[in-house]
Chain A
């Protein structure tokens, strides 16, 4: 059953940046876009198990820090080799200055 989990304060993430959020034995990446919207994906690159939160956010792209594989963090779509498999994305809402993820 899906549940909404508090991930962080909204101001913990700079604009056009990403942070890591661990919950149980899972890890996620939570993004703040240049338009001040929030998004969430799986935390690890689908190419190799590298934390995307150490990567670079440019517009709607997250670039993996190890091999520069690219994903659209809004849709999860792989956008550049060596990333070939899409990321899972998760619904996000912001309430009272807190960022919540809906985790299935």
Chain B
């Protein structure tokens, strides 16, 4: 293919943001697999029981692993317990933040809100800012200049990706955002997607969080030990690896600027422990097509619509075998992406909407 290699402007107020609007990519009509209304209603049905059970297991496991880690503090025996605690804090909180932000985990809304606030604190995402950024992510998924949650911009910054497995870049930015918000200011990007009537809430939460971290640091100083920080704050670093490992697979190496989630999202089969930590977000094409379906119904949704979707990756390792070479190719040609082939039973991609034939060097994957 001979299309010129382009450069992307990911700013939400820049050239590609304007271009996306002009091209009709902003708030576009996305492709959906046909699902009969009765079946979709059954899948969308909410229940408190499943999420209450899973939340009790999550917080209970944190309490047990945290207590064991504290009791072994000062010996190497604390390491495996902090490893468990850290993943439950710095990774499982990511999926709880996400699912409760959608309001799909529990039927009872205050339960969604309570877990959302707790998980937002753990994962260091302002619950107001990130609710609105995630709204935009679903409106304009991986549309350059519109989606504020593109984890891997092109060309990929591999150093940043690696550092984020221990949360370094994300936390650095999160602390900066928190301090800026606490001082009463929002960035231009934040102001672009948070409605004015909601902006004061982002500032209020940031101030509460600053007070919480200050209290934790004060306790550590008073005790003469950084043990309190091992429970609050630091797990966002040492426990981040699992949510980064799974999160990169959501869209990494796939198409951008399309209006069909089959082209820009990835479903990956995973082991049951990762699926518990990740709350089934490995069914990511399905989630983006039907965001009202709760996490526990996504496997059933997958079975219902898989005839219309690209074949899932067989494992996390299989996903990385597809994604990492794509990242390396994008270092030389940022227009490169993995084009996911559809089964014969699927409705074809609407090429006229995607311009994907004009993008350079797409690689089919069957």
The yes or no verdict on A and B being binding partners is yes
Kindly list chain A residues whose C-beta atoms are within 8 Å of the C-beta of B46: 56, 58
Chain B nearest CB, measured from A9 CB (Å): 16
Chain A nearest CB, measured from B163 CB (Å): 31
Contact of B135 with A by CB under 8 A: yes
* CA–CA, A65 and B102, complex, Å: 10
Kindly list chain A residues whose C-beta atoms are within 8 Å of the C-beta of B109: 70, 80
Q: In chain B, what residue has the closest Cβ to A55?
A: B292
Given contacts A49-B27, A80-B109, contact A68 B291 (CB under 8 A): yes
Q: Quick check: B292 and A68 within 8 Å, CB to CB? A: yes
Kindly list chain A residues whose C-beta atoms are within 8 Å of the C-beta of B139: 48, 66-67
Q: Quick check: B41 and A67 within 8 Å, CB to CB? A: no
Q: Mark A52-85, 1 if CB is under 8 A from B, else 0.
A: 0001101000010111101000000000111010
Chain A nearest CB, measured from B54 CB (Å): 19
Which residues of B from 86 to 138 have beta carbons under 8 Å from A? 102-104, 107, 109, 131-132, 135, 138
Of the candidates A49, A63, A80, A81, the one whose C-beta lies within 8 Å of that of B198 is A81
Give chain B's interface secondary structure class.
helix
Kindly list chain B residues whose C-beta atoms are within 8 Å of the C-beta of A49: 27
Given contacts A68-B103, A80-B103, A82-B132, contact A63 B27 (CB under 8 A): no
Contact of A42 with B by CB under 8 A: no
Contact of B197 with A by CB under 8 A: yes
Given contacts A48-B27, A49-B27, A58-B107, contact A82 B292 (CB under 8 A): no
Of the candidates A55, A70, A82, the one whose C-beta lies within 8 Å of that of B135 is A82
Given contacts A56-B41, A68-B102, A68-B103, contact A63 B135 (CB under 8 A): no
- Interface size for chain A: under 10, 10 to 19, 20 to 34, or 35 or more residues? 10 to 19
Q: Quick check: B292 and A84 within 8 Å, CB to CB? A: no
Kindly list chain A residues whose C-beta atoms are within 8 Å of the C-beta of B41: 17, 56
Which residues of A from 6 to 65 have beta carbons under 8 Å from B? 17, 47-49, 55-56, 58, 63, 65
Q: In chain B, what residue has the closest Cβ to A47?
A: B135
* CA–CA, A84 and B196, complex, Å: 11
Kindly list chain B residues whose C-beta atoms are within 8 Å of the C-beta of A82: 131-132, 135
Contact of B44 with A by CB under 8 A: yes
Kindly list chain A residues whose C-beta atoms are within 8 Å of the C-beta of B107: 58
Chain B nearest CB, measured from A17 CB (Å): 7
Q: In chain B, what residue has the closest Cβ to A17?
A: B41
Kindly list chain A residues whose C-beta atoms are within 8 Å of the C-beta of B290: 65
Kindly list chain B residues whose C-beta atoms are within 8 Å of the C-beta of A47: 135
Q: Mark B179-197, 1 if CB is under 8 A from A, else 0.
A: 0000000000000000101
Which residues of B from 273 to 303 have beta carbons under 8 Å from A? 290-292
5 CB < 8 A contacts A-B: A48-B139, A56-B41, A58-B107, A65-B290, A67-B135
Rank and list the top 6 A-B pairs by shortest CB-CB distance, nearest first.
A82-B135, A56-B44, A68-B103, A67-B135, A68-B102, A65-B292
